[in-house]
Chain A
């Protein structure tokens, strides 16, 4: 991995942030609105395979789109922190949702 530049690192971090948001939104909306979950199942054979495929696609697209953007150390660090915060928020949202869902509240 000889020629990794700062733009690649920043783009990858932004890709992580996008995937975290995508997974949380797809999952919660899919549980509340069955046509979305059914669509994922019909296209990808299983809803989780659909989310896996879309995660890979979104990461790839965001990375490709953003890797040409100018990056500094501080903006790259900020993108990494954004990925971290969104990963935690997505995890919390998913857990809270599934607890409420299992209790029949949502």
Chain B
């Protein structure tokens, strides 16, 4: 693996996990009766940026390296289902996460100037969903990494 590919993979992992963390803290704010919307908006703005960068860096690693060098190893190994279920699942579920983060950010931008409990609750559900799905994607990545070793 070249240094650029290693960097792309590490960037994908670190920024993806960071994005999950930021979204989680925004979610916790939205559960409060008097949330700090400005702070939550800052968190989700950054999580949106990180999700998109993570998408880009993973795209390079996946297309340039994973298919040729990692996937055959997993499929020929003891845990072929790690690719067939977890990698396939994760690579497709990830595709809607950045847009969920963007929607959450737009919602918080509106909420900051127009407080509304109904909208806040819906955005809390969206944030919680994003945390759950992104965590699944992260755990699936751990399974894939383990199967490749």
B-contacting residues of A (Cβ < 8 Å)? 1-2, 4-6, 8-9, 12-13, 15-16, 19-20, 23-24, 27, 45-46, 48-49, 51-52, 55, 59, 73-74, 76-77, 80-81, 83-84, 87-88, 90-91, 94-95, 98-99, 101-102
Contacts and interface: CB of A to CB of B under 8 A. Distances in A.
Interface residues of B, number: 39
B59 to A, nearest CB: 7
Contact of A23 (B92, B103, B114): B92
B133 A48 contact: no
Contact of A77 (B88, B109, B118): B118
9 contacts: A1-B109, A46-B62, A52-B59, A52-B95, A55-B99, A91-B133, A95-B89, A99-B85, A102-B81
Contacts of B45: 1
Interface in B92-149: 92-93, 95-96, 99-100, 102-103, 105-107, 109-110, 114, 116, 118-119, 121-123, 125-126, 129, 133, 136
B1 interface: no
Interface of B is mostly: helix
Contact of A55 (B85, B96, B116): B96
Given A12-B102, A48-B63, A52-B59, A80 B96 contact: no
Contact of A76 (B99, B119, B129): B119
Contacts of A48: 59, 62-63, 91
B117 to A, nearest CB: 9
Interface of B: 41, 45, 55, 59, 62-63, 67, 80-81, 84-85, 88-89, 91-93, 95-96, 99-100, 102-103, 105-107, 109-110, 114, 116, 118-119, 121-123, 125-126, 129, 133, 136
Contact of B125 (A19, A76, A80, A101): A80
A16 B41 CA distance: 19
Contact of A80 (B85, B92, B102, B107): B107
B122 A77 contact: yes
B126 A9 contact: no
Nearest to A85: B129
A15 B119 contact: no
